[in-house]
Amino acid sequence: MTMIYLDNAATTRPDSDAVREALYYLEDGFYNPSALYKESFAVHRALEAARKNIISQIADPQKFTLLFTSCGSEADNQALFSCARRGNFVTTEGEHAAIYNAALEIARRGVEVRYAKLDPYGCADEADLLQLVDENTSLVSVIHVGNETGAVNDIANIAKKVKAKNPRAYFHSDGVQAFGKIPFRLTNDIDFYSVSAHKIGGVRGAGALFRNKNKNLFPLIYGGGQEGGLRSGTENTFAIMQFAAATKKKFAALSEDLSRVGILNRRFRQGLDEKIFTVLSGECASPYILSVSAKGLRGEVLQHMIDDCGVVVGTGSACSSKNRYSRVILACGADERTADGVLRISFSSQTTEQECEEAIRVINDCGNRLAERTK
């Protein structure tokens, strides 16, 4: 039985072309980029070229730079612990665990944390967020694309309004589920932006934090002074180079992939049995993520049934899989019976129509069988 993989918001299959392109830096170009001999300097130059190429996809290299990290969570943490050091920190109830749990630690350290509400589809309530911002706000962080419902926040517009209210406040966004999937450019009002390699066909072990060159940042990891002194530790050259290759490939096909994945998303919305499943993601959500609920059924049980039939889907964020009820889905206004039945279906550019047709059949069949058993 061939497995159909539809949990791409958790991680994606590494792009084989990008792996082959970067393999040299795993096998032959293994030199430490910080060493002084010519072989190492060649690797250093390749890393700098990769950095510029990634920046250019979404930002002006004259205004933004980026530092490589181990993952999106590290990039999120560095931005938060660097900037939310005084006054209050404003974020939303729809953030990834890397932001939400870091915020809990920031509160423990004495900084007030304020959470903006969500609309029923998972978007930040803009009016509620802006009324939380005042002259003492040190940082605002708003996720770009929600990792559970795919809700898209207009971070450029939100950042502009935040800066109008408090020009000294930093603005950060977790862009892990947006980068390489939806078209956008970083504006001058966005100070920091986190991305991750393994969500777009990269290998695990590489992420990045975009930084407006006019904004200061403090290290999270201290040591040998790599990444301009902002992220010490010997660079993961292979993962970074593979990330750069995967990024180039993703952005070259971004519009085409977005259109095709949108068709697959709509097919699921139309094909899932309405007697069992309710769609939670809004029509304007990223087409790469579709959240549904089999209300009254256990999503985890249904997930295992579907898996046994050769289809892999999620039950929400993989980083929050130990919790029965998703705090994000509850924050959207769902009751516990709805939150208990959540499945997250997420696509990649490699997902085919044939796979989707078979997955819809399997999910409907499993949903109906579980509903019969629970009557």
> Looking at the annotation, which residues are catalytic?
319
- What is the Cα 222 distance to its own chain's centre? 26
d(CA 353, CA 356): 5
Among the listed residues 75, 135, 141, 138, the one whose alpha carbon sits nearest the alpha carbon of residue 109: 138
Question: Is residue 98 within a helix (H) or strand (E), and if so which, with residue range?
Answer: helix 97-108
Residue type, 161: K
Pairing mode, if any, of strands 170-174 and 192-196? parallel
Residue type, 207: G
Backbone angles phi, psi at 166, to 5 degrees: -145, 95
d(CA 9, CA 260): 17
Backbone angles phi, psi at 363, to 5 degrees: -65, -45
Question: Is residue 115 within a helix (H) or strand (E), and if so which, with residue range?
Answer: strand 112-116
Which residues 6+ apart lie within 8 Å of 131 measured at CB?
A: none
Contacts of 155-160 spanning 24+ positions with Cβ under 8 A = 155/190, 156/184, 156/187, 156/189, 156/190, 157/126, 158/124, 158/126, 158/129, 158/130, 159/187, 159/189, 159/190, 160/187, 160/189
Which class for 216: exposed (0-12), middle (13-18), buried (19 or more C-beta within 10 A)?
Answer: exposed
d(CA 227, CA 234): 9
Structure tokens at 269: 């919305």
Structure tokens at 279: 């769609």
Contact 48, 34 (CB under 8 A): no
Backbone angles phi, psi at 170, to 5 degrees: -80, 150
